[in-house]
Structure 1
Amino acid sequence: MSETSEIEDADWFLSAVLYLAASFVVLFFVRKFFKGGQFTERVSAKNLIAVVTGANCGIGFETVKELNLRKAKVYMLCRTEERAFEARVELSKKGCDSSRLIFIQCDLDNFESVRKAAEQLLSLEKHIDILVNNAGIMYQSKYGSTVDGHERTWQSNYLGPFLLTELLLPVLKKSENGGRIVNVSSMLHRQSAKINLATVDEKKSYGMMKAYNQSKLANVMHARQLTKILRKEGTHNVLVNSLHPGAVNTPLIRSTFLYLKGIKELTAPFRWFFLKTSRDGAQTSLYVSLSKKVDGISGKYFADCKLATESELALDDQACEDLYNYSLEQVGLEKK
């Protein structure tokens, strides 16, 4: 081989190495971008008592794990004991202290179940420091109603968490560290039209996207209105905020086309790369639950571990008040 050929081969090899290295760096930073903001503060949760709904999988599972690893006692509110037990075993394998993981059955589709869960919590604890309203359902292709007569997405994502929050407020107010209520919403709340409370449960007005988006708008409005009520009554030690966890590759998307047979397998690598993991999706929930930077901030909306801009509809004072009063009536509580 001539000296010229050897030089050309060496140049080609060097170019290939540089190209691969550059591609790796680009992919690394693109992936980092899609992972979103990360909660990196070294904040202990020792002696804190937390309640997390939808705790057996996805974002809820990761939220429970991190809170427990930071020494909190965590009540796992799940629909079934079987799923909670499986999650508890898995959490123990990941280093969690199972003695600080307590299951309580709670089905947000059923107000009676929510009341029983709240009664159990009130009998066990004199105070609660963190409530993460995480559980929810997404993109139900067919209309469904609950035993309480409400459209299923509306009750699961909004009315159920609303009732749980109201019932636990007395013990959240007793938190020496300051109670924190976290509503896991979505950026899709911005796509919602104004919520028509007169037709929200009607089958003829149901739409898969509409139902989800308006339930998430209600989560944001709830945080804002509850903050106003608490401050008006002189309660300043309870923070209520909402958040967007990001586009997350969790079981919640099982109702979408991404989980159809064939498509699920085909899109797996793309979902891994372009969507957040459950751990990534839990970061803003943890940030709002624990961060010192959130001290004194309430009624706001967060995304990627920082303040974000909510829909203008969520800033409508009268609409927020109407929604809150309607919600009290629907769950059987007296107006304040």
Structure 2
Amino acid sequence: MGACSVLGQFFPSKPTWSVDEIPDLTGQVMLVTGGNAGIGRETVKVLLEHNAKVYIAGRNESKCIEAIKDIEVQTGKRAEFLQLDLSDLASVKKAAEEFMRRETRLNVLFNNAGVMWPPMDMMTAQKFDLQFGTNTLGPFYFTKLVLPLLTATAASTGTKVRIVNTASLTGELHPQADGVNYDTLFDGPARRKKDKGYLYGQSKLGNILVSNELARRYTDEGIISIALNPGNLRTELARHEKNPVKMGVIALLRYPVQLGALTQLWAGTMKEAEELNGGYLIPWARIGEMPPAAADLAAGKALWTWLEEQVERFEAGN
């Protein structure tokens, strides 16, 4: 990833596309993980304004319901709530089963939710590194469970369905030589030698690798999978960081959530995005260069295999 490309993502040019260009989404069902806050919330708002049926999938029911009410005041339209805690595979399975009981189609899945820089002693319910478990393993499992509904929707409607995977510039900048360091995904000496930023970047690289594998494995079943960097944004994502100097620097580089939502909204709604299966987008709704570490076919296959093994172990009760 060249320096010019990186700088261009820190300081993007003005967008050339606006949400006013989104077509009418009547009849489409969409699900946004983490849709109660940040760019997820903005994404839900815009989708509702264009007549989609939208689910907010989140861990904190009270915050999600509050967001649903606020968005309804703004739009006159009400999103649905789905209980989903991506850091607990049991919750992920329950959420997917509940969603498929309630719906007969899913046109777009926005894998938007994530955590950044939590304390090192925080782990998932199944004792994975919290960032990788929440940002990579949890979304992988949820996506895997709803894939039958996605492929059935594509078959019954004769149109492409989409999986939009929100990554980060940190995924692009993660050391290519390291790839996914599997020894750091559980607690232990290898993980403790790394810092929170390294573990976050690794989880975001994981998002892109999974997105690419989805594109390779399911294109013949009508699925479009796109990964993206939404940009550096004014959200609550960095709430765990307590260093005032670091937060001051971050604040200088952050942009409004309305801009941040543009890229995933374009990926999830525009006809042109159907030509970008396995592609990578950068701020604001521009086609980007696939990071070299994420373009590694062997790395993508290895991560997919590892993720399936963790899911199988969980389902077997081990």
What secondary structure sits across from 1:313 in the alignment? coil
Any gaps of 5 or more consecutive residues in structure 1? Answer: 1-31
Change (3 A) 1:182 1:114: same
Looking at structure 1, the residues matched to 15 and 115 of structure 2 have their Cα atoms a distance apart, in angstroms, of 23
Instruction: Give the CA deviation at 1:257.
Output: 4.5
The one-letter code sitting in structure 1 at the alignment partner of 2:91 is S
Name the residue aligned to 1:196.
181
Of 216, 226, 232 in structure 1, the residue corresponding to residue 214 of structure 2 is 226
Q: Deviations over 1:179-236 (max 9, x none)?
A: 10011000111221311224322332332011100100010011111111114xx32x
Q: Deviations over 1:69-105 (max 9, x none)?
A: 110001110112200111011101211411xx11011
Which one is further off, 192-201 or 244-253? 192-201
1:80 aligns with 2:60: yes
For residues 202-241 of structure 1, the aligned pairs below 5 Å read: 202-206=187-191, 207-231=195-219, 234-235=220-221, 237-241=222-226
Instruction: Give the CA deviation at 1:35.
Output: 6.1
Looking at structure 2, the residues matched to 75 and 149 of structure 1 have their Cα atoms a distance apart, in angstroms, of 28
The one-letter code sitting in structure 2 at the alignment partner of 1:291 is M
Q: Please tell me whether Structure 1 or Structure 2 has the larger radius of gyration of its CA atoms.
A: 1
The one-letter code sitting in structure 1 at the alignment partner of 2:233 is V
Any gaps of 5 or more consecutive residues in structure 2? Answer: 1-10
Name the residue aligned to 1:286.
265
Tell me, yes or no, if the aligned pair for 1:130 and 1:180 is still in contact at 8 Å: yes
Name the residue aligned to 2:22.
42
Instruction: Give the CA deviation at 1:254.
Output: 1.5
Tell me, yes or no, if the aligned pair for 1:38 and 1:280 is still in contact at 8 Å: no
State the identity %: 29
Which one is further off, 219-228 or 248-257? 248-257
Tell me, yes or no, if the aligned pair for 2:22 and 2:269 is still in contact at 8 Å: no
Of 51, 58, 65 in structure 1, the residue corresponding to residue 31 of structure 2 is 51
Name the residue aligned to 2:167.
185
What secondary structure sits across from 1:295 in the alignment? helix
What secondary structure sits across from 2:239 in the alignment? helix
After the TM superposition, list the runs of 4 or more consecutive aligned residues in structure 1 that deviate by more than 4 angstroms.
32-38
What secondary structure sits across from 1:214 in the alignment? helix
Looking at structure 2, the residues matched to 186 and 53 of structure 1 have their Cα atoms a distance apart, in angstroms, of 16
What secondary structure sits across from 1:174 in the alignment? helix
Tell me, yes or no, if the aligned pair for 1:151 and 1:202 is still in contact at 8 Å: yes
TM-score, with length taken from structure 2: 0.86
Tell me, yes or no, if the aligned pair for 1:131 and 1:180 is still in contact at 8 Å: yes
Which one is further off, 133-142 or 280-289? 133-142
Calculate the aligned-residue CA RMSD, in Å: 2.2
